[in-house]
């Protein structure tokens, strides 16, 4: 578990970055209605979760420095026996202090009364400017109140919090990596269960159900809607219907991950429904695997973020020429981006509390260097559209992606999802067993 001391350290680090005279405001996520009295499952705002570990809606965190020490004040829902009969337990004001390390806590209903006075102590207000219209309006109303108050000190700057906070979130601590290992381990177990199920499954929905069964049995929730695409559906990058028939001879692309303590895994495997790759499926699969291994070679401190993508593009282009799906000179094909007909996305993204996690990919317009503690996915693919008439019919409708979760270490990297079979031999063996 991530401990209260780590949350306190994150808050302190953030105040260090925002500097003297700053006050930081972070709002919890709001509950979203699905229809009439039914809500979507609550998911805490990742910035708020990162700084508090507090998993309730209707809360605002306020951070500032007082007499040289950083101070955290939480506005949250007070305990309410009547409401708790309907909605479950709340930490309440006392719990926010005792269990979440807050210096003070107040009822959320007192936010409008107390905030203007707190803001008066600051010169710069940091918050996620422009992200939540309702919160923007609240901040403006507090500023309006200060302007209407004779002699009030008006903070001179409103500054977007994202840059500082997201730079902190980009580097994972030991306990964050532990949570991500757990999320990857559970997702690996889910993928294995679904792959074992595939030869007898008649519909994509059965594999989707298998993934969710393993997630929920491990007290995890999905980190994004799983993708279970059989046959041509493997070529639809954001396919989430997961309700079509699985036919003998189909290749199935399954992209699924879960959350542990809010930290995501994001894993893709592609495998034959009947347990045996056809020659064409195998050729495309092994090319994507070769590209993925080339990309993983680049995941180490000092490598440029884009180096893995460049390695993938080169490997895929050369392989597509060899297989006869592209023709021409490799460097020229890369310059012309000919591969984009079959590989139209990037090779990965940061991974953390958000599945597409926060953090800059470039610094001063240049691809940034990888450093220990960064976590990312490595996920090349090839998608040959069912109606692609520039290739022989035997290649059409094959979609392959291979995605692993990786943490950059001092000397290289750790693959969090390495227990999931990946070679053709491993996959066929798993499915036969």
Alpha-helical (H) ranges within 19-45 are: none
Interface residues toward ligand GLY, by CB under 6 A? 224, 255, 266, 349, 355, 379, 403
Question: Of these residues, 232, 259, 403, 404, which one is catalytic?
Answer: 403
Nearest Cα residue to 127 out of 167, 161, 166: 161
Spacing of C-alpha 145 from chain mean position: 38
* Active site annotation includes 401: yes
Residue 25 contacts which entry, Mn ion, ligand GLY, none (Cβ below 5-8 A, type-dependent): none
Q: Of 25 and 288, which has the nearer Cβ to ligand GLY?
A: 288
* Active site annotation includes 255: yes
CB 45 within 8 A of CB 67: no
Angle at which helix 162-170 crosses helix 4-18, to 10 degrees, equals 140
* Active site annotation includes 403: yes
Alpha-helical (H) ranges within 126-203 are: 133-147, 162-170, 174-197
Q: Of 42 and 224, which has the nearer Cβ to ligand GLY?
A: 224
* Active site annotation includes 37: yes
Cα distances from 107 to residues 94, 119, 121, in angstroms, run: 10, 18, 21
CB 324 within 8 A of CB 395: no
State the minimum distance, in angstroms, from the CB of residue 356 to ligand GLY: 6
State the minimum distance, in angstroms, from the CB of residue 213 to ligand GLY: 19
State the minimum distance, in angstroms, from the CB of residue 1 to ligand GLY: 26
Strands (E), 236-345: 251-256, 258-260, 263-264, 267-272
* Active site annotation includes 197: no
Q: Of 59 and 402, which has the nearer Cβ to Mn ion?
A: 402
Tokens representing residue 330 in the block? 């490799």
Tokens representing residue 158 in the block? 């409103």
Question: Of these residues, 34, 37, 148, 387, which one is catalytic?
Answer: 37
Question: Of these residues, 197, 314, 349, 396, which one is catalytic?
Answer: 349
Which residues, other chains included, contact 409 with Cβ-Cβ below 8 Å and sequence gap of 6+? 372
Tokens representing residue 216 in the block? 């929920």
Residue 224 contacts which entry, ligand GLY, Mn ion, none (Cβ below 5-8 A, type-dependent): ligand GLY
Determine the Cα–Cα distance for residues 385 and 165; give it in Å rounded to an integer. Answer: 40
Question: Of these residues, 11, 181, 309, 401, which one is catalytic?
Answer: 401
Buried b (16+ CB within 10 A) or exposed e, 91-128: bbbebbbeebbbeebbbbeebeebbbebbbebebbbbb
Residue 124 contacts which entry, Mn ion, ligand GLY, none (Cβ below 5-8 A, type-dependent): none
Question: Of these residues, 189, 255, 354, 404, which one is catalytic?
Answer: 255
* Active site annotation includes 349: yes
Q: Of 95 and 257, which has the nearer Cβ to ligand GLY?
A: 257
Q: Of 71 and 345, which has the nearer Cβ to ligand GLY?
A: 345
Determine the Cα–Cα distance for residues 350 and 371; give it in Å rounded to an integer. Answer: 12
For residue 406, what is the enclosing H or E element?
Answer: strand 404-408
Q: Of 268 and 270, which has the nearer Cβ to Mn ion?
A: 268
State the minimum distance, in angstroms, from the CB of residue 379 to Mn ion: 5
Q: Of 138 and 242, which has the nearer Cβ to ligand GLY?
A: 242
Question: Of these residues, 345, 371, 396, 428, which one is catalytic?
Answer: 345
Q: Of 119 and 376, which has the nearer Cβ to Mn ion?
A: 376
State the minimum distance, in angstroms, from the CB of residue 259 to ligand GLY: 13
Residue 128 contacts which entry, Mn ion, ligand GLY, none (Cβ below 5-8 A, type-dependent): none
State the minimum distance, in angstroms, from the CB of residue 158 to Mn ion: 33
Nearest Cα residue to 410 out of 263, 299, 265: 299
State the minimum distance, in angstroms, from the CB of residue 379 to ligand GLY: 6
Residue 354 contacts which entry, ligand GLY, Mn ion, none (Cβ below 5-8 A, type-dependent): none
Which residues, other chains included, contact 73 with Cβ-Cβ below 8 Å and sequence gap of 6+? 61, 62, 63, 102, 103, 104, 105, 106, 118
For residue 244, the tally of other CB atoms under 10 A from its CB is: 17
* Active site annotation includes 364: no
Residue 56 contacts which entry, ligand GLY, Mn ion, none (Cβ below 5-8 A, type-dependent): none
R_g (Cα) of the chain, nearest Å: 25
* Active site annotation includes 345: yes
State the minimum distance, in angstroms, from the CB of residue 349 to Mn ion: 6
Interface residues toward Mn ion, by CB under 5 A? 255, 266, 268, 377, 403
Which residues, other chains included, contact 304 with Cβ-Cβ below 8 Å and sequence gap of 6+? 366, 367, 368, 369, 370
Could you give the residue numbers annotated as active site? 37, 238, 255, 266, 345, 349, 356, 379, 383, 401, 403
């Amino acid at each position: 578990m991530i401990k209260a001391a780590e949350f306190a350290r994150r808050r302190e680090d953030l105040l260090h970055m925002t500097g003297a005279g700053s006050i930081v405001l972070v709002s919890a996520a709001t509950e979203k209605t699905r229809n009439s009295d039914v809500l979507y499952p609550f998911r805490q705002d990742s910035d708020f979760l990162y700084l508090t570990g507090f998993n309730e809606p209707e809360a605002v965190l306020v951070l500032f420095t007082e007499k040289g020490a950083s101070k955290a004040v939480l506005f949250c829902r007070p305990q309410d026996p009547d409401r708790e009969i309907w909605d479950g337990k709340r930490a309440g004001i006392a719990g926010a202090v005792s269990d979440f390390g807050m210096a003070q806590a107040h009822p959320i209903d007192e936010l409008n009364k107390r905030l203007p006075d707190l803001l008066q102590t600051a010169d710069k207000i940091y918050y996620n400017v422009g992200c939540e219209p309702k919160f923007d309006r609240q901040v403006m109303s507090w500023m309006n109140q200060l302007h209407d108050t004779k002699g009030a000190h008006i903070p001179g700057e409103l500054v977007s919090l994202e840059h500082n906070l997201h730079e902190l979130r980009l580097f994972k601590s030991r306990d964050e990596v532990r949570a991500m290992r757990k999320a990857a381990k559970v997702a690996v177990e889910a993928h294995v269960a679904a792959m074992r199920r595939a030869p007898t499954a008649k519909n994509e929905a059965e594999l989707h159900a298998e993934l969710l069964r393993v997630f929920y049995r491990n007290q995890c929730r999905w980190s994004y809607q799983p993708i279970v695409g059989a046959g041509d559906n493997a070529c639809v990058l954001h396919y989430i219907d997961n309700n079509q028939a699985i036919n003998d001879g189909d290749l199935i692309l399954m992209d699924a991950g879960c959350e542990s303590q809010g930290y995501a895994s994001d894993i893709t495997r592609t495998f034959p429904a009947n347990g045996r790759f056809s020659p064409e499926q195998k050729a495309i699969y092994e090319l994507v695997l070769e590209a993925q291994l080339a990309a993983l070679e680049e995941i180490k401190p000092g490598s440029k973020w884009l180096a893995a993508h460049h390695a993938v593009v080169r490997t895929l282009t050369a392989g597509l020429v060899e297989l006869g799906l592209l023709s021409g000179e490799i460097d020229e094909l890369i310059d012309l981006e000919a591969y984009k007909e079959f590989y139209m996305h990037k090779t990965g993204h940061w991974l953390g509390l958000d599945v597409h996690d926060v953090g800059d990919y470039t610094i001063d317009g240049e691809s940034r260097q990888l450093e220990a503690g960064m976590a990312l996915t490595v996920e090349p693919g090839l998608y040959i559209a069912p109606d692609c008439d520039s290739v022989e019919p035997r290649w059409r409708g094959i979609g392959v992606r291979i995605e692993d979760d990786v943490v950059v270490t001092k000397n290289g990297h750790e693959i969090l999802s390495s227990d999931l079979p990946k070679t053709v031999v491993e996959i066929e063996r798993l499915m036969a067993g």
